[in-house]
Chains A and B, each alone.
Chain A
Amino acid sequence: MRQSYLRLVFVAICIASSPLFAVAASDISGVVKSSKGLEAGVWVIAETTDLPTKFTKIVVTDDQGRFLIPELPSANYKVWVRGYGLVDSSKVSAKPGASLNLKAVIAPNAKAAAEYYPGMYWYSMLEIPKASEFPGTGEKGNGIPTFMKQQHYWVDTVKNGCQSCHALGSKGIRQVPEFFTKMGNGDSFAAWAHRTQAGQAMGYMALVLGRLGPDKGLSLYADWTDRIAKGELPFAKPDRPTGLERNAVYSMWDWSTPKFYMHDAMSTDKRNPTVNANGLIWGAPEESTNLVPTLDPVKNIASSVRMPVLDPKTPSSTGAPRGPSAYWGDEPIWDGQSSIHNHIMDEVGRMWFAARIRPVPNPDFCKAGSDHPSAKVVPLNESLRQISMYDPKTKEWALINTCFSTHHVYFGHDANNTLWTSAGPPNSGVVGWLNTKKYFETRDEKVSQGWTPLIIDANGNGKRDEWVEANQPLDPNKDKRVMAAFYGVQPSPVDDAIWGQAMDVGFSRIDQPGYLIRLNPGSDPSNTALVEIYQSPEGTFGPRGLDVDSKGVVWTVLSSGHIGSFDRSKCKGPLNGPSTAEGKQCQEGWTLYRLPGPQFKGMDPKGSADGAYYIWVDLHNTLGLGKDVPIASSNGGEALIAVVNGKLVNLHVPYPMAFFTKNVDGRIDDANAGWKGRGVWTTTGTRTPFHSGDGSKDMYPKVFKVQMRPNPLAN
């Protein structure tokens, strides 16, 4: 009897101390407990510097506080717990195969707990000028420029001017370095003025400040950080991950250098995500360097390839005016000429980049008097970025001199393998493309490219006619041009349409709302293309980025704090003719999803303070949440946010703090390996990786891989 009792006690102890789920030799598993008991929905982080590049893997505990970190490369790891309501636990040393009992530490107070909140919980404390303060009355009035006509112009500028490059509420931003405070002789306004002049982005920072009204903008930012310095805390708290959110596995690798920053990471051909299985991940370092970073995620090796330019006089960020940096002093840390903004992989693994290869003035064949068919329609004098292509097999570059500017690039689904491009800002007023089939046949960039203005069929006769310009009144006998260019671009997988999206005032800096734009190329696009424009519903604003699902539904993110879908097949009214010239038709086509988290005080609670840089549709279920699931890059939530069956799944990346990404790319490495053979890839997208974590010159940009398991303990 006594022996049986002891055996029972032994078994009970074993049950209590072991995870009781299948564990492989490459896993680290265990249980997380705090003084309050088992901790569900907290993150367990394992990190090693033993591999060729620093590697980290993160999982979430299940409802019993259990965790399993799967498929770890053989190495020595430091393992610790992070979670809402906690402060970081002590780091425990472990190797794959270990089973750990981790002791989570309850946050001693609200301030300590808030250090782990996503940035939006902090920047939602920023005061937004009241609606009654708009339109602005200028420098001698309320400090808000007169062209700021409505409150949402201001919010859109904060999100698409400030937040589009910076993880706004992160510790590195909400705390003003002593360096700037000293420069400003203790005046926080002056400290912010010096801060916005630091580094080689000074010119762009000034541009955005000029839009906000420099004195008003700096005053409000200084007031925000002053209140935080005095102890004010976020007025809202985030929830711990639940449901599907606990099934996520986040892997991350350092790449490039702490001085450089990334815009995007690419892994495969979006049309066929089995291309380049297990191959290199490619980065786009924008203004920071000509060195295109690569990551071998199998061997954990980071490397780079140098992109050439066509003309040595290609502008460089080296000479950009700059003020001293709190991190880098007077050192010009960026030396990029190629301005690689975005890239895409083709069907055989070649990389295509939106990149600068020469100075701004265009060659003669782009200009008036040229016999180029597109130049005859709209001559172009300038291009800010062109196209470059790298073939990893031959290690050769092709520099393709386009007349139009490029910003994002995506392949069509047509036989010509057309590469459709966006231009970013609206100034060019055209959409450009490269017929890559013809390019490979001829290697002639002139005959392989084309562009068209964006012309609305305003007279409703179903064909392109003479047009009036965007600033001219409608003419019943003519069509009408919209002075926009694409920012987001995506060829539809279901028909010939090319969908684009034009930015709202905060980015475009013209008094015109943001649009979704459907371009129907016709038989001779330079002469036949017609567009339809669509504004988002009343109360929302600021589309940024778009993608199209396999049913032809368009997805975008809005700076009003929403994910929006637009289904053109639901439209009831006419889609051409004079009533469509402003894009207010077909409100019935829209469905909105509010991004999670708090709203700025005094603003419509139907929106959110969160802002997302872009959205990407998982056409092939590479993540494991289903085919056609859209994934928004939530910059305020420091997360990827997926829409699954109408509900939002918030995949917050908790480490390092200030996860900030601009877009994702999904790849299937092994279609037969279940969740292990799939994942979406992204990278650190902030221009200042050194603001991440606690703020440091040692913060590398990272490659992130996100995978979804069937449950939190799957391996």
Chain B
Amino acid sequence: MKKIVFFLLSLTLWMAQSSFAQSNQAAAALANQSGCMACHKADGKLVGPGYQEVAEKYKDQPGALEMLMQKVKKGGAGTWGRIPMPAHPQLSDESLNILVTWVLKGAPAQ
């Protein structure tokens, strides 16, 4: 019985990890496809800030997801230096949610 419970727990954990990995991969692919990675990378500044720095800045901050979704959609300036973030009106709310959720996790590849 213990073996079955252990097996089921392991399976659940593996499936959850696998699901996370898949969603991270999908978000990374969406970021590539949407042109985000032309200006950003996970670690360190490119043209805009590194996603891990963004995640650190907004860690545990209530409302960060919604605020950043709006910032990506409408653009902004001043938070990360003099180079403005252009607006991305072509991104759907669903895509914005996937992307910003991933960014706030530090943009994991897996």
Interface residues of A (CB under 8 A from B): 139, 184, 187, 189-190, 193-194, 197, 202-204, 206-207, 209-210, 214-215, 218, 319-321, 323
User: How many A-B Cβ pairs are below 8 Å?
Assistant: 49
Is B15 interfacial (CB-CB < 8 Å)?
no
Supposing A190-B84, A214-B47 touch, asked if A206 and B90 sit within 8 A by C-beta, the answer is no
Instruction: Indicate if the CB atoms of A202 and B47 lie closer than 8 Å.
Output: no
Instruction: A319 to B34: give the CA distance in the assembly, Å.
Output: 8
Instruction: A193 to B46: give the CA distance in the assembly, Å.
Output: 14
With both chains docked as a complex, state the minimum distance between the C-beta of B73 and any C-beta of chain A, in angstroms: 12
Supposing A319-B90, A321-B86 touch, asked if A202 and B38 sit within 8 A by C-beta, the answer is yes
Q: Which residues of A contact B81 (CB under 8 A)?
A: 215
Which of B47, B83, B84, B88 has the most CB atoms of chain A within a 10 A radius of its CB? Answer: B47
17 interchain pairs, CB-CB under 8 A: A139-B44, A190-B77, A190-B82, A193-B82, A202-B86, A203-B38, A207-B38, A209-B47, A210-B38, A210-B47, A215-B83, A218-B82, A320-B35, A321-B34, A321-B35, A321-B90, A323-B87
Instruction: Indicate if the CB atoms of A210 and B39 lie closer than 8 Å.
Output: yes
Is B45 interfacial (CB-CB < 8 Å)?
yes
Instruction: A321 to B75: give the CA distance in the assembly, Å.
Output: 12
Q: Which residues of A contact B47 (CB under 8 A)?
A: 206, 209-210, 214
- Interface residues of B, count at CB 8 A: 17
Instruction: A214 to B49: give the CA distance in the assembly, Å.
Output: 11
**Which residue of chain B has the shortest Cβ distance to A185 in the bound complex?**
B77
Find residues 58-110 in chain B having any chain A CB closer than 8 Å to their own CB. 77, 81-84, 86-88, 90
**Which residue of chain A has the shortest Cβ distance to B83 in the bound complex?**
A193
Mark interface residues in B41-54 (1 if CB within 8 Å of A CB, else 0): 00011110000000
Instruction: A320 to B87: give the CA distance in the assembly, Å.
Output: 13
With both chains docked as a complex, state the minimum distance between the C-beta of A333 and any C-beta of chain B, in angstroms: 15
Instruction: Indicate if the CB atoms of A210 and B46 lie closer than 8 Å.
Output: yes
Interface pairs A-B: 7 shortest CB-CB: A203-B38, A321-B35, A206-B38, A323-B86, A197-B86, A203-B35, A206-B39
Q: Which residues of B contact A207 (CB under 8 A)?
A: 38
Which of B44, B46, B81 has the most CB atoms of chain A within a 10 A radius of its CB? Answer: B46
With both chains docked as a complex, state the minimum distance between the C-beta of B30 and any C-beta of chain A, in angstroms: 12
Q: Which residues of A contact B86 (CB under 8 A)?
A: 194, 197, 202, 321, 323
**Which residue of chain A has the shortest Cβ distance to B77 in the bound complex?**
A190
Instruction: A290 to B82: give the CA distance in the assembly, Å.
Output: 37
Instruction: Indicate if the CB atoms of A139 and B82 lie closer than 8 Å.
Output: no
Instruction: A189 to B39: give the CA distance in the assembly, Å.
Output: 17
With both chains docked as a complex, state the minimum distance between the C-beta of A507 and any C-beta of chain B, in angstroms: 16
Instruction: A371 to B98: give the CA distance in the assembly, Å.
Output: 40
Instruction: Indicate if the CB atoms of A321 and B88 lie closer than 8 Å.
Output: yes
Contact partner of B82 (CB less than 8 A), chosen from A189, A197, A202, is A189
Given contacts A203-B35, A215-B82, 16 further A-B contacts (CB under 8 A): A139-B44, A187-B82, A193-B83, A193-B84, A194-B86, A202-B35, A203-B38, A206-B38, A206-B46, A206-B47, A210-B38, A210-B47, A214-B83, A320-B35, A321-B38, A323-B87
With both chains docked as a complex, state the minimum distance between the C-beta of B81 and any C-beta of chain A, in angstroms: 7
Instruction: Indicate if the CB atoms of A194 and B84 lie closer than 8 Å.
Output: yes
Instruction: A203 to B88: give the CA distance in the assembly, Å.
Output: 12
Supposing A210-B46, A319-B90 touch, asked if A218 and B83 sit within 8 A by C-beta, the answer is yes
With both chains docked as a complex, state the minimum distance between the C-beta of B44 and any C-beta of chain A, in angstroms: 8
Instruction: A204 to B39: give the CA distance in the assembly, Å.
Output: 9
**Which residue of chain B has the shortest Cβ distance to A319 in the bound complex?**
B90
**Which residue of chain A has the shortest Cβ distance to B44 in the bound complex?**
A139
Q: Which residues of A contact B46 (CB under 8 A)?
A: 206, 210, 214
Q: Which residues of A contact B77 (CB under 8 A)?
A: 190
Instruction: A323 to B39: give the CA distance in the assembly, Å.
Output: 13
With both chains docked as a complex, state the minimum distance between the C-beta of B95 and any C-beta of chain A, in angstroms: 11
With both chains docked as a complex, state the minimum distance between the C-beta of A424 and any C-beta of chain B, in angstroms: 17
Instruction: A202 to B40: give the CA distance in the assembly, Å.
Output: 13
Q: Which residues of B contact A139 (CB under 8 A)?
A: 44-45
Q: Which residues of B contact A190 (CB under 8 A)?
A: 77, 82, 84
Instruction: A210 to B36: give the CA distance in the assembly, Å.
Output: 13
Q: Which residues of B contact A206 (CB under 8 A)?
A: 38-39, 46-47
Instruction: A652 to B99: give the CA distance in the assembly, Å.
Output: 49
With both chains docked as a complex, state the minimum distance between the C-beta of B40 and any C-beta of chain A, in angstroms: 9
Instruction: A206 to B46: give the CA distance in the assembly, Å.
Output: 9
Q: Which residues of B contact A187 (CB under 8 A)?
A: 82
With both chains docked as a complex, state the minimum distance between the C-beta of B82 and any C-beta of chain A, in angstroms: 6
Mark interface residues in B11-38 (1 if CB within 8 Å of A CB, else 0): 0000000000000000000000011001
**Which residue of chain A has the shortest Cβ distance to B45 in the bound complex?**
A139
